[in-house]
Amino acid sequence: MALLDTPICNFDWPAPDFELQDPDGQTTTLQSAMGPKGLLVAFLCNHCPYVQAIAERLAEDTNELKATGVNTVAIMSNDYDLVPADSPANMKAYAKLSGWTFPYLVDEGQAVGKAYGAVCTPDFFGFNAHGGLQYRGRLDSAAMGNPDGRTRELVHAMRQVAETGKGPQDQIPSMGCSIKWR
């Protein structure tokens, strides 16, 4: 398991289009996922201890963001033949267990993960309503530790994006397990 950090935010980089299905075969596109104030694209998987540590906080934070007009979509780009815990059937069960209400999509060919330049799980891309990248940071200050008193960096950043269309200049990279490429 390689531990990686995400690159710094490339402000206004345009969100690559996608059309992916969830484990039940429901299709989601970039356009259909976009909220009136923005979109959070999260690259996640089931087996990563970094994702497991934040899963419930992510559910809470994304529900709050949805109320501000920022939608969320999660994409699983790992090679699940290599990591069976990340299979579509397991994705569906893990999303339910974690309380995720956003679409959790299978990137079977890994083209979407590569188009976004995703490097780890979790890897967060926060876009404004025009599809310009404004956040490429971590969920919060707690990371894998105790979440009491955490600074909710992603929520604060995406609220700023919802209000102004621009993200904060100072961002702390997300850290996690490398994406398992074919």
Instruction: Give the pLDDT score at 23.
Output: 98
CA distances from 168 to 65, 79, 153 (A): 16, 33, 10
pLDDT digits (tens, 9 = 90+) for 17-51: 999 999 999 999 999 999 999 999 999 999 999 99
The confidence score (pLDDT) of residue 1 equals: 53
Query: Residues with Cβ < 8 Å from 14, sequence gap 6 or more?
Result: 131, 132, 133
Q: What is the rounded distance in angstroms from the CA atom of residue 12 to the CA atom of residue 103?
A: 24
Q: Enter the pTM of the model.
A: 0.97
Is residue 2 over pLDDT 80?
no
pLDDT band at 5 (very low <50, low <70, confident <90, very high): confident
